[in-house]
Amino acid sequence: MEIRQIDDDFAVAGQITAADVAAIAGQGFKTLISNRPDAEEGAVAHDGIREAAQAAGLAFHYIPVISGQITRDNVTDMAAAMSGASLPILAYCRSGARCANLYGFVKSMGNSAS
């Protein structure tokens, strides 16, 4: 699992599994956000990851975003999740790109994770 730091409080990764969650918590992350729809080819269903996150004491948000089709609602939902999140946050999708793009849109709206 490769984690790419975007800023001090936000990082992105490609698809994770429930088995990765303990290591993610061990790295100090407090919140996980899934931006990958369960129906997307190769996706790991978010329910198992949510259960692992809760068992590890992490908050979990599921905000599925279709690749290449970020909507205003996606940005609004991401901003809401980030605004109340315990920091730092790790967001994941297939490659981390749509998470990074969502983060950029949230920041450009004037919202932040802090």
- Tell me if the pTM is above 0.85: yes
Q: Quick check: 99 and 33 in contact, CB under 8 A? A: yes
Find the DSSP H helices in the chain: 21-26, 46-55, 72-83, 97-108
Q: Quick check: 78 and 85 in contact, CB under 8 A? A: no
Predicted confidence at residue 112, as pLDDT, reads 46
Q: What domains, with CATH codes, occur in the chain? A: 3-108 (3.90.190.10)
> How do residues 80-112 score in pLDDT, each as one tens digit?
999 989 999 999 999 999 999 999 999 998 744
> How do residues 40-63 score in pLDDT, each as one tens digit?
999 999 999 999 999 999 999 999
Q: Quick check: 22 and 70 in contact, CB under 8 A? A: no
Structure tokens belonging to residue 26? 């061990």
| Euclidean distance between CA atoms 32 and 72, whole angstroms | 21
SS3 (DSSP) at 50: helix
113, pLDDT greater than 50: no
Taking Cα atoms as reference points, which of 26, 10, 15 lies closest to residue 82? 10
114, pLDDT greater than 70: no
| Euclidean distance between CA atoms 102 and 27, whole angstroms | 23
